[in-house]
Amino acid sequence: MTLIKSISGIRGTIGGSVDDNLTPIDAVKFAAAYGTWLRQQRQKDNYIVVVGRDARISGEMIQNLVMNTLVGLGIHVIDLGLSTTPTVEIAVPLEHADGGIILTASHNPKQWNALKLLNAKGEFLNGEEGQKILEIAESNAMNFAEVDDLGKITVNDAYIDIHIDEVLDLELVNTKAIQDANFKVVVDGVNSTGGIAIPLLLERLGVEPVKLYCDPTGHFPHNPEPLKEHLGDLAKAVVKEHADFGIVVDPDVDRLAFMDETGEMFGEEYTLVACADYVLSKNPGNTVSNMSSTRALRDVTEKHGGTYEASAVGEVNVVTLMKKNNVVIGGEGNGGIIYPESHYGRDALVGVALFLSLLAEKKMKVSELRASYPNYFMSKKKIQLTPELDVDSILKSMEANYSHENLTTIDGVKIDFADSWVHLRKSNTEPIIRIYTEAPSQEAADTLADSIIAEIKAIANI
């Protein structure tokens, strides 16, 4: 399936047939459904939507379709052009807009694109709101504006700089310590908008950026998901340049990973751990991440006297629990930092500034910083099931088998053991069970995952 319609938006591959791929007709239909939903929220004279995109090859085409569809609904558009997901998120409330659309397929390869939808707070829609938009799109219940009532497009290309200003103004960003440290950092911008935003931020902080794949052409030089197996060139550049560390982001700059001075990964899961350690040392409190994220965040939170809680997977679920628990920092183990003092969205720029502040104050190498945290290892596997099998029934059986353990069932089944855990979730789009485990060694994590897979196969007779 190459067109995925979900509560968080619509994503698909470019080209092909309508309803099977993200064609121009699909982009227009869902932009119209979103605009129609916005107009239903409250009656007013002027509606405003902020629109930005990453550097994907298809981005300009899709953005023009989306913006002019909104214009046809009588909605005014603020065009940020090449931007980042967190930049669009902060622009929405600053512009007193009714919502925002980010055109990005995040870490997906270049043939993918997507419409990510925001509310008036610059936050992702919840499940009920997203479902309503899908229903509008399905029913074609859109009513376009007459010629005298068309919207207009206003270009504003200043928002990356405004975003950087907002980051530098955060109380806990220690600009003086960072400037005094004279850091040199290699940046892999995967030829998208991170190649614009991250070097600009570093320069403002007095850090020397060495640019690697920072030309926003949309021709990704490697798989754009920021994982170790895709980052050989970054590792070589960090060592060759004698850099203090490396930074890599995904195409829309909401995920962040670091590489130490030896070319070894800091660990995507540990981006949030390090940033939380710094924030909690200044402002003790609670944290939240999703259920598939490392236990190290819990350990660091408790070290600082706070309480940790896990949400269901998905940024909107993390944000909801963060607000409920009044947390000081949270996010996702995929390198997503959510810092409420800035805004309720994953933001690599905020993460970079907090990490640099921590490193500058600690006066230690990145490898030494990583060694100071609890060491956990993760295994991420999946089981392909036949469509006839009842995945819910299989998960219920696993829940019963481990009822004597510490269980959480808000999102599949998570089993917490004394020194490890396993999280089982079903896919919403195909008969797959995802198996995530974490343990004190890679071997233990893989062994736990394999034993759970064998148990599931026995239950399902496969």
- List residues with catalytic annotation: 106
For residues 265 and 228, the answer to whether their CB atoms sit within 8 Å is yes
Q: Which two tokens stand for residue 292?
A: 């598939």
SS3 content of the chain, % helix, strand, coil (to 5): 40, 25, 40
HSE of 225 in the Cβ direction (CA atoms, 13 Å)?
6
Structure tokens given for 61: 């085409």
Q: Residue type at 70?
A: L
- The tokens describing 147, both together, are 């010629």
Per-residue tokens: 270: 């540990």
CA distance readout (Å), 86 to 40, 264, 448, 457: 26, 27, 36, 41
Burial 135-166 (b: 16+ CB within 10 A, else e): ebbeeeebeeeeeeebbeeeeeeebbeebbeb
CB atoms within 10 A of CB 275: 26
Structure tokens at 88: 């669009």
Report the 10 Å Cβ neighbour count for 382. Answer: 15
Vertex 379, ends 376 and 384: CA angle to 5°?
160
Structure tokens at 201: 């931020």
**Helix and strand element counts for the chain (H, E):** 15, 20
DSSP secondary structure of 82-112: E--HHHHHHHHHHTT-SEEEEE--TTS-TTE
3-state SS string over 236-294? HHHHHCCCCEEEEECCCCCCEEEECCCCCECCCHHHHHHHHHHHHHHCCCCEEEECCCC
Closest CA to 288 of 264, 262, 258, 310: 310
- Strands 184-188 and 245-249, sheet pairing: parallel
